[in-house]
Amino acid sequence: MGVPFINALLTIALFHDIFLIDVINNTLEKYMNYIEFRRIVEPFTVFSIADIRQADSAFHRRRLNEWQKKGYIRKVVRGYYIFADMPLYEKSLFEIANRIYEPSYVSFEMALAHYGLIPESVYGITSASTRKTSHFRTQIGSFIYRTISPKLYFGFDLVKNNEKSFKLATPEKAFLDLFYIKTELRDEASFEGLRVNSEAFNKIMKHVKINNYLGIYGQISLKRRVNNFLEYIKHA
């Protein structure tokens, strides 16, 4: 075995080691970039590319695609992501619902179920928004948004969830929002279909607040239907 051949083998081995070092360094760099990225967006339950670029204007969207393929993050809807290992529970889903379609607040059936006023067999997170009616079917659940008039964008609380918060309709507003949207709610048969817990309703609901809110809605037909329901639930 001649010297040239040995030198050739050494050269190959050297380039092989350099290649491995480059691969390892590149992998470490990407991993460290993800660690830094996670540190930056950790405060957000759901984050967007705009959130990331506030901290790093040079951030490239392809990184999100890479991390999604590796299972680090999950896409909720276009432009919004969560960490794949984030526990999903009611409050975090409410936060996500608020964020992916703004302005909005959780209301209608979902809010009523949250307060124990109707059974919890609710399909999707229902929210009120001044934007057009929309429905997002995602990997983590369905998010339904129904349009309300801008003057009706009120009657929600900012509920704390650890260091974060979300907007949730008061019981009275969720109830009125539902009657506002569902004009078919007008008689005993339709009222029974709601399966409202009469004991919880009569205990939780503040009639003064309902009447004050009704004045802002300014609809005679809505007031009539609501009063019919209040009379019905009193004796249910």
φ, ψ for residue 122, nearest 5 deg: -95, 130
φ, ψ for residue 106, nearest 5 deg: -70, 130
Query: Could you give the CA distance from residue 41 to residue 82 in angstroms, rounded to a whole number?
Result: 10
Query: Could you give the CA distance from residue 102 to residue 59 in angstroms, rounded to a whole number?
Result: 24
Query: Could you give the CA distance from residue 226 to residue 234 in angstroms, rounded to a whole number?
Result: 12
Query: Could you give the CA distance from residue 226 to residue 232 in angstroms, rounded to a whole number?
Result: 10
Query: Could you give the CA distance from residue 177 to residue 148 in angstroms, rounded to a whole number?
Result: 8
CA angle centred on 168, ends 198 and 147, rounded to 5° = 95
pLDDT, residue 4, reads: 55
Query: Could you give the CA distance from residue 118 to residue 10 in angstroms, rounded to a whole number?
Result: 76
Q: What is the three-state SS of 41-89?
A: HCCCCCEEHHHHHHHCCCCCCHHHHHHHHCCCEEEEECCEEEECCCCCC
pLDDT, residue 12, reads: 46
* pTM given for the model: 0.84
Tens-digit pLDDT profile for residues 6-55: 454 444 444 444 333 344 334 334 444 888 888 888 888 999 988 888 87
Tens-digit pLDDT profile for residues 133-179: 999 999 999 999 999 999 999 999 999 988 899 999 999 999 999 99
| Both structure tokens of 210 | 């309902």
Q: Do residues 119 and 195 touch, judged by C-beta distance below 8 A?
A: yes
pLDDT, residue 80, reads: 96
Spell out the residues 6+ positions from residue 154 whose beta carbon is closer than 8 angstroms to its own. Answer: 173, 216
Tens-digit pLDDT profile for residues 93-115: 999 999 999 999 999 999 999 99
Q: Do residues 106 and 170 touch, judged by C-beta distance below 8 A?
A: no
φ, ψ for residue 142, nearest 5 deg: -100, 140
